[in-house]
């Protein structure tokens, strides 16, 4: 039997000196464990520390003797839990407690007794010393000596080390946070390009928060739109828009208050996770992104990577770094605003040049050379359609177009090809990949880019209601040379260029006729007037004619508008059966091909299983016959297997028909479809009705005199009496072929397709519609109806 060491044999001074020599918890805990083991020969010692009093857990910092222990032990488990409750030491034998009470110990020897000594300072225990004796029971005197050692030396030393580590870690955390903030500001201010800045902000936010994903919603124009996403969040898609009440980002944009959701059962998370049970959101943090007291966006952090919910510290951090991001966004927005002003100034200048003259050459040169001030491209060109052929008429930076130049020939060829597509074309090459949907286009531009050195080509058709005028193109060696602002400018320029070119071409074709006698008489009287008066009259007439003939203005035709019924479709079974399950309710939105209900399929499954079994049997028999060199029997079995294979395919198709699918995307109109469970349906019976209201059709009554101006694809605007402050915009889909009588006049109906994502427009709503028929000279817009009336009167008198 081992005897304990005498208290005088233990050098207390040496023990204290070794404790002082170490500053951290683990070394001091190990010194304490070794010292206790010396005092109790044959015993094993474990020293536990509670690192965080707010979330207490027993953490083993040191051991001595023949024993191993779990790294962490629950605060309320077993003998350690008893110590946590009483905060006083105690001594037990192995016969007095079950083995489960000290299950955290991995011992290979017999345990005779266990003793526990709390480590105390001024409050509750911050640790404990656990003594395990394998040979004898620890008596009270032995326990008192160890307790005295722990209270006088070990506990103060370990408490001081714990405080030192906490202070050191806090300082390191503060230094790290300051460094991160400096790095964050440096990174954000490294660019003024908004397209580069937004992904950078989302990525940095994700790294600093340790989040699964960060979503950046920007206000566009009045509601937040998901423009940038770092990480993976399948619950929302890029481009999604949330209004107040529709989601967390919408709510934050409404009142500016931060949202911190740490409860996975929160209703807002349940709604967000619908259809995404494989990767649900269990915690979310959303903060408003402000720029000089104006809301510009919302930042959403989704799921911490350590599986813990977001807390107030995370909210404070995100709010702080949002201030840094807002400064960078403000600088980027100033750059964008400056660029837009520059673009608008250039657009006004070019517009003034092309509308101030009817000289075709001047108009062409202004169109190709003007945009170069703000659009970073290498070359722009314009080709006009003359007598059925497309001819290259102007190239930027070139005074005269040389048709024999190889570069001009190559450009003319690609413009000829682009004009045959009858649509705008944008093709770019990046990292060797050509961005086009058709293989022919890819091959065409892969060769063209290799020969010309360009990496982007943008072509727009110039056309109006009278026909096609030509093609305008822009080229650059940068595949991403066009921004949204540039595209908007080009669209406006194209419309103005079309009008200017049409006016210039008409001006070239006007014949000068002066052979009529009355005109000669008037000319003589005019010439007899004093020179100053004659010049004034000529100036006024010229100004009036130029104003009527050259100045364009938008021309519109209007009429009464009525919203037509939405597109509807019926869900019908293709075979008889009993409804087994219904997956939708009235008003639910379903996508095209989505399963809305299932019929009982046990009969078809049994038949399919039997057919598959017979197919397998036939194949097995065929293989066995082949193995026995019985070709005749193998052939018979092969034919049988082919028959059952066809039968399996047919039964699989019948089984698939037990799934009733939606023929279109829309909302369920049928009331209480779930009540149809158990009802038998025959083939062709109507199970449910689906209505697609995402695109509404509005019939606009157009006077028969104006109908020649209206073409499919023409832009239109509708104002409904139900929404007097809202304008619905769309395009004419089709023009009716037969007229109808309305208000004692004959009208044709232009059916306008209007996006109806919010489903505001409903069948039967009335209002007024206007169809934009393009830009026309002022004279045509103002005098068209009187001229048509005069022409009809003259024809009725003189025509034949």
In 3D, which of 458, 354, 331 has the Cα closest to residue 346? 354
- pLDDT score at 3: 45
User: In this structure, is the dihedral angle defined by the CA atoms of residues 449, 454, 456 and 458, taken in order, positive or negative?
Assistant: negative
For residue 49, is it within any domain?
Answer: yes
Q: Using CA atoms, how far apart are residues 235 and 3, in angstroms rounded to an integer?
A: 68
Q: Using CA atoms, how far apart are residues 208 and 324, in angstroms rounded to an integer?
A: 13
Domain of residue 115: give its range.
7-168
Q: Using CA atoms, how far apart are residues 88 and 119, in angstroms rounded to an integer?
A: 9
Of 488, 504, 520, which marks where a domain is finished?
A: 504
For residue 648, is it within any domain?
Answer: yes
Statement to judge: residues 155 and 130 lie in one domain: yes
- pLDDT score at 788: 75
Of 267, 302, 335, which marks where a domain is finished?
A: 335
CATH number at residue 704: 2.40.30.170
Phi, psi of 102 (to 5 degrees): -125, 45
- pLDDT score at 515: 39
Statement to judge: residues 24 and 151 lie in one domain: yes
Chain-centroid distance of CA 744 in Å reads 52
- pLDDT score at 512: 41
- pLDDT score at 514: 35
Statement to judge: residues 102 and 211 lie in one domain: no
- pLDDT score at 348: 72
Q: Using CA atoms, how far apart are residues 13 and 19, in angstroms rounded to an integer?
A: 10
Number of domains in the chain: 6
Statement to judge: residues 427 and 538 lie in one domain: no
Statement to judge: residues 640 and 682 lie in one domain: yes
For residue 367, is it within any domain?
Answer: yes
CB burial of residue 424 (10 Å; 0-12, 13-18, 19+): middle
Statement to judge: residues 661 and 707 lie in one domain: no
- HSE, CB side, 13 Å, CA atoms: give it for residue 90: 14
Task: Name residues of the chain where pLDDT drops below 50.
Answer: 1-10, 511-517
Statement to judge: residues 430 and 328 lie in one domain: no
For residue 574, is it within any domain?
Answer: yes
Statement to judge: residues 741 and 630 lie in one domain: no
For residue 613, is it within any domain?
Answer: yes
Contact 376, 342 (CB under 8 A): no
For residue 340, is it within any domain?
Answer: no
Statement to judge: residues 593 and 522 lie in one domain: no
For residue 175, is it within any domain?
Answer: no
Statement to judge: residues 120 and 215 lie in one domain: no
For residue 651, is it within any domain?
Answer: yes
Statement to judge: residues 495 and 526 lie in one domain: no
Statement to judge: residues 370 and 488 lie in one domain: yes
CATH number at residue 431: 3.30.450.40
Task: Output the CA–CA distances (angstroms, integers) from residue 224 to 337, 477, 581, in the order listed.
Answer: 20, 35, 38
What is the per-residue pLDDT across 37-47, written as a single tens digit (0 to 9) for each?
Answer: 888 888 889 99
- pLDDT score at 768: 92
Of 134, 168, 202, which marks where a domain is finished?
A: 168
- pLDDT score at 593: 87
Task: Output the CA–CA distances (angstroms, integers) from residue 46 to 22, 116, 143, 369, 424, in the order listed.
Answer: 19, 10, 15, 85, 78
Q: How many CB atoms lie within 10 A of CB 454?
A: 23
């Amino acid at each position: 039997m081992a005897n304990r060491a005498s208290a005088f044999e233990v050098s207390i001074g040496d023990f204290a000196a070794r404790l002082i020599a170490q500053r951290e918890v683990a070394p001091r805990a190990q010194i304490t464990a070794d010292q206790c083991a010396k005092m109790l020969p044959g015993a094993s010692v474990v020293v536990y520390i509670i690192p965080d009093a707010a979330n207490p857990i027993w953490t083993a910092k040191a051991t001595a003797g023949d024993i191993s222990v779990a790294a962490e032990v629950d605060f309320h488990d077993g003998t350690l839990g008893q110590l946590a409750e009483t905060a006083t030491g105690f001594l037990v034998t192995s016969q007095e407690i079950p083995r489960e009470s000290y299950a955290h110990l991995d011992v290979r020897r017999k345990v005779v007794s266990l003793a526990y000594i709390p480590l105390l300072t001024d409050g509750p225990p911050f640790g404990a010393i656990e003594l395990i004796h394998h040979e004898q029971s620890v008596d009270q005197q032995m326990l008192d000596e160890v307790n005295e050692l722990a209270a006088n030396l070990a506990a103060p030393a370990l408490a001081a080390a714990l405080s030192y580590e906490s202070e050191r870690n806090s300082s390191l955390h503060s230094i790290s946070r300051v460094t991160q903030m400096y790095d964050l500001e440096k990174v954000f201010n490294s660019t003024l390009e908004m397209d580069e800045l937004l992904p950078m902000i989302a990525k940095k936010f994700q790294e600093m928060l340790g989040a699964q994903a960060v979503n950046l919603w920007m206000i566009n124009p009045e509601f937040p739109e998901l423009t940038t996403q770092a990480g993976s969040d399948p619950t929302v898609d890029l481009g999604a828009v949330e209004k107040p009440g529709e989601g967390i980002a919408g709510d934050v944009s409404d009142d500016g208050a931060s949202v911190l959701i740490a409860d996975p059962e929160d209703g807002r998370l349940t709604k967000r996770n619908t259809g995404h049970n494989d990767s649900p959101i269990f915690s979310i943090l959303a903060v408003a992104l402000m720029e000089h007291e104006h809301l510009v966006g919302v930042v959403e952090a989704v799921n911490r990577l350590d599986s813990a919910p977001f807390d107030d510290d995370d909210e404070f951090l995100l709010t702080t770094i949002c201030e840094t991001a807002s400064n960078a966004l403000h600088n980027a927005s100033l750059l964008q605003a400056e660029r837009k002003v520059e673009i608008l100034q250039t657009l006004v200048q070019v517009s003034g040049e092309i509308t101030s003259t009817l000289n075709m050459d001047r108009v062409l040169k202004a169109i190709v050379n003007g945009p170069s001030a703000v659009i970073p491209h290498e070359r722009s060109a314009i080709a006009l359609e003359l007598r059925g052929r497309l001819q290259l008429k102007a190239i930027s930076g070139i005074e005269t177009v040389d048709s024999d130049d190889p570069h001009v020939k190559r450009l003319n060829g690609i413009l000829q090809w682009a004009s045959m597509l009858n649509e705008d074309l944008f093709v770019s090459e990046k990292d060797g990949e050509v961005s086009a949907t058709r293989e022919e286009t890819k091959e065409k531009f892969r060769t063209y880019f290799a020969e010309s050195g360009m990496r982007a080509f943008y072509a727009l058709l110039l056309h109006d209601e009278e026909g096609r005028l030509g093609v305008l193109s822009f080229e650059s060696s940068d595949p991403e040379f066009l921004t949204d602002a540039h595209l908007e400018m080009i669209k406006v320029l194209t419309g103005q260029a079309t009008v200017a070119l049409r006016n210039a071409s008409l001006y070239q074709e006007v014949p000068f006729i002066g052979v009529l006698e009355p005109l000669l008489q008037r000319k003589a009287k005019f010439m007899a007037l004093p020179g100053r008066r004659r010049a004034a009259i000529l100036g006024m007439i010229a100004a009036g004619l130029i104003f009527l003939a050259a100045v364009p203005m938008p021309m519109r035709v209007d009429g009464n508008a009525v919203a037509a019924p939405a597109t509807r479709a019926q869900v019908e079974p293709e075979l008889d059966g009993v409804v087994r399950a219904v997956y939708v309710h009235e008003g639910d939105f379903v996508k095209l091909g989505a399963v809305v209900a299932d019929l009982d399929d046990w009969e078809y499954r049994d038949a399919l299983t039997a057919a598959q079994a017979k197919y397998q049997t036939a194949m097995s028999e065929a293989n066995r016959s082949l193995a026995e060199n019985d070709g005749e029997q193998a052939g018979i079995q092969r034919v049988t297997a082919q028959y059952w294979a066809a039968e399996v395919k047919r039964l699989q198709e019948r089984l698939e028909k037990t799934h009733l699918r939606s023929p279109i995307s829309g909302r369920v109109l049928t009331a209480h479809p779930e009540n149809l469970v158990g009802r038998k349906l025959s083939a062709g019976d109507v199970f449910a009705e689906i209505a697609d209201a995402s695109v509404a059709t509005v019939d606009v009554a157009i006077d028969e005199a104006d109908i020649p101006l209206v073409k499919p694809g023409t832009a239109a605007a509708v104002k409904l009496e139900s929404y007097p402050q809202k304008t619905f915009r769309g395009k004419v889909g089709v023009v009716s072929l037969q007229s109808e009588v309305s208000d004692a006049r004959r009208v044709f109906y232009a059916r306008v397709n209007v996006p109806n994502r919010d489903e505001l427009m409903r069948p039967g709503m009335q209002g007024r519609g206007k169809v934009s028929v393009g830009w026309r000279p002022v004279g045509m817009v103002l005098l068209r109806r009187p001229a048509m009336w005069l022409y009809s009167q003259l024809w009725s008198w003189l025509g034949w």
